[in-house]
Structure 1
């Protein structure tokens, strides 16, 4: 079923075109992004039920203007016949005030060229099985409650269980003198958490779900209840790992975390502009094993961060970041590309219409290879299969990486021993880790159930993943 366009955006679109026409008399470039994002978040626990609006909900507009060598933006959330002149005057007054203050205080912003756009008219409506508005809240809560109740059939050690679902409908339009773009799609994410306790030992297992899907995602969640409970019970017997260098096999989820942290943030080209990225020194140089190919892009895969155009009106792309181990390029927003003299990759994303656009990841992943998981396991004398993760950090300036992994399965002489270690911290220097990759499986799996911050703020939806990869890593 096609996701419907926002009635709010369609109604105000003629006024936005008028606004651009008026402002184009005074400025060399004018564009407007309109957003209407709505959603619901549900969670059912042993201890209660929660229903709320999604934190991603927003509705409003941001105008971007170019004057001489400076870009300025103005956001607002209402536009009608009645307030049209007031909004127009506010934009002019605030923009001119900003220009005057910048010059008076001697701020050095550097010169930017004016955006040169080709004429593009495109419209995209995503497909889902069941849009959020076609599912009653009571039906969703009933399904999540059933998942929670069934979990208690598998063990007496379960002390709490949560089944959570969030569905978000995104409608955006982008208008400039040469562009007329609109997109409407829906994404969903879900989680199941099992908390178990044995005497004083408490552990939890989880599984996440995501996609450009409607409430049909909940049916996927209902299929893996026992797996999540069994994982939590398994971790009750986990022991600390002995720190050291090991051969490791990273699950697609862990491989995605490495891709995200190592060559996601590390190749965001607004960091090139600010001289805060080590990657700029390695362009067109080897940074990984020759087996490694890595991609990012809204059109590179189909997950929660897939779209027709980004928040600056640049069409989404499929960017090959690494090919045969060579770092080819980074990802960029529009203004960073203008500053660097490169082509924008469609990675300009805003936390909301009230926030600045930064270079941000979309779907970041390792490409599949030709090895099987069985071959990878058989090749390890002593090491670990690393699965699931809690968090990750990277230093783009120095290329250090730290990944908090949920657990590892010990492998000796090509076979699992049954020993589980948890938690596991993987650290190292990015090129060392990527250059050690010696085997890559043929499958590809992405997850978009999380969010990514620019440092400690500016949260946006992203997805990451890959195949299974074999490498050498320092674990502790």
Structure 2
């Protein structure tokens, strides 16, 4: 079923066009992004809660160029909006003293386009009662199969995105739905408490609820298996990273590290290594709204740039970064369609979208059999990196021991993986044929400015420092 542009934005387009026409008589560049994002979050645990999605927003941001770029956001439009914007521009320039860091004018080509996403089941066609009933059934089944289950969470979130971007030469519309689901089992036995989780996401509709049903047994049994886990002996090991662990490495290692607004600010070590070897020849890494179909996919970014598939690392060589429009103007590079806002009230930054390693040619069984002693790492808890010095830390929920080419019954949990990014990436010696991406989380710029992202890849074999 097609996802249509919201009636709210459809009705506002003629008014927005009129605003652009009037402002363009005075300023060399004018654009408006209109956003109407609405969604619901359903939580079933001991209690049942239905709330608005944290991603909900409705409003507009206008960008004006008059020697430098100024932006103003608003959520209501009346007859005085143009006069009001002109007054704000004048006041803003009066505030500046001394030299101003100028930026080149955005040179646009004529571009029109409409994107309508398609899902099997539009979320609004399924009533809230049925969604709660399905989530409650998952919870009840979890308790029926485990005596050690202390708590169980079933979460489903649906978000309907409508956006328009208008300027003197561009007229772009996009409307799509993304959904995500989350199952978490917490088990307790002999004063030990462990948990596991399973995530589901995609540019999908309410059909994702059916996918979640099949994951209940797995997440409960996985949590129970961690009760008898032990701590790992710190050291360097051969490891196989599952796609979600490989994804967080990609995200932290050369995701944040190549956001090109950091190039402008001199805060990224990656700028010194462009065109140089930073990883194994088996490593090719992508980012882009059109590189995959997941929660971070879109037709155009929040600056009206069509989404792309950007190759960041090509067979081990660092090729380039991902940029917002203003950063690309200052650096003299082509924009990659990665200008994203937390909401219409926030600034656009260079941000990741779908970040992942490209699949290789190896079989997972062959990868396991190649390891004398090491670990199979699964389930990411969190990750962080330092784009200035290329240090990386990833918390991983658990690892399964590999001995003499076979998985043993020994499980270690939790695990901290640390290292220097190029050392870790250069140690990659096998890459599987698989490709999996997950988008149940969000990414912040530092500690704020959150946007939806996805990450993943194939299984990878590497040498890593674990503790």
**TM-score when scaled to structure 1?**
0.97
Cα shift readout 1:177-232 (whole Å, capped 9, x = no counterpart): 00000000000000001111002101111000000011110100001111000010
Cα shift readout 1:369-398 (whole Å, capped 9, x = no counterpart): 000110010000110000001100010000
Question: Which residue, 342, 349, 357 being the options, matches 2:340?
Answer: 349
Tell me the CA shift for residue 153 of structure 1: 2.2
Q: Which residue pairs with 2:70 in the alignment?
A: 72
Q: Which residue pairs with 1:295 in the alignment?
A: 286
**Structure 1 residue matching 2:302: 3-state secondary structure:** coil
Runs of 5+ unmatched residues, structure 2: none
Question: Which residue, 88, 94, 97 being the options, matches 1:100?
Answer: 94
Q: Which residue pairs with 2:178 in the alignment?
A: 187
Q: Which residue pairs with 1:54 in the alignment?
A: 53
Task: Indicate yes or no: 2:362 matched with 1:371.
Answer: yes
Tell me the CA shift for residue 59 of structure 1: 0.1
Task: Indicate yes or no: 2:82 matched with 1:88.
Answer: yes
**Structure 2 residue matching 1:290: 3-state secondary structure:** coil
CA distance in 1, matches of 2:385, 2:100: 27
**Structure 2 residue matching 1:152: 3-state secondary structure:** helix
Q: Which residue pairs with 1:432 in the alignment?
A: 423
Question: Which residue, 402, 416, 438 being the options, matches 1:411?
Answer: 402
Q: Which residue pairs with 1:18 in the alignment?
A: 18
Cα shift readout 1:384-429 (whole Å, capped 9, x = no counterpart): 0000011000100000000000000011110112110000000000
CA distance in 1, matches of 2:95, 2:305: 30
Structure 1 range deviating more: 460-469 or 86-95: 86-95
**Structure 1 residue matching 2:144: 3-state secondary structure:** coil
Verify the 8 A CA contact 1:31 1:175 in the aligned structure 2: yes
Verify the 8 A CA contact 1:74 1:95 in the aligned structure 2: no
CA RMSD of aligned residues (A): 0.7
CA distance in 1, matches of 2:128, 2:90: 48
Q: Which residue pairs with 2:33 in the alignment?
A: 33
Q: Which residue pairs with 1:230 in the alignment?
A: 221
Tell me the CA shift for residue 272 of structure 1: 0.2
Task: Indicate yes or no: 2:297 matched with 1:306.
Answer: yes
Cα shift readout 1:404-456 (whole Å, capped 9, x = no counterpart): 00000011110112110000000000000000000000010000110000000
CA distance in 1, matches of 2:170, 2:109: 8
Tell me the CA shift for residue 94 of structure 1: 1.1
Cα shift readout 1:53-103 (whole Å, capped 9, x = no counterpart): 1010000000000002x1000000011xxx22x21112111122112212x
Verify the 8 A CA contact 1:268 1:360 in the aligned structure 2: yes
Tell me the CA shift for residue 109 of structure 1: 4.8
**TM-score when scaled to structure 2?**
0.99
**Structure 2 residue matching 1:338: 3-state secondary structure:** helix
CA distance in 2, matches of 1:72, 1:97: 11
CA distance in 2, matches of 1:89, 1:406: 56
CA distance in 1, matches of 2:27, 2:209: 49
Task: Indicate yes or no: 2:211 matched with 1:211.
Answer: no
Cα shift readout 1:284-312 (whole Å, capped 9, x = no counterpart): 00000001000000000000011000000
Verify the 8 A CA contact 1:384 1:410 in the aligned structure 2: yes
Question: Which residue, 450, 453, 456 being the options, matches 1:459?
Answer: 450
Alignment of 1:273-292 (within 5 A): 273-292=264-283
Q: Which residue pairs with 1:248 in the alignment?
A: 239
The number of aligned residues is 467
Q: Which residue pairs with 2:106 in the alignment?
A: 115
Q: Which residue pairs with 1:43 in the alignment?
A: 43
CA distance in 1, matches of 2:125, 2:244: 31
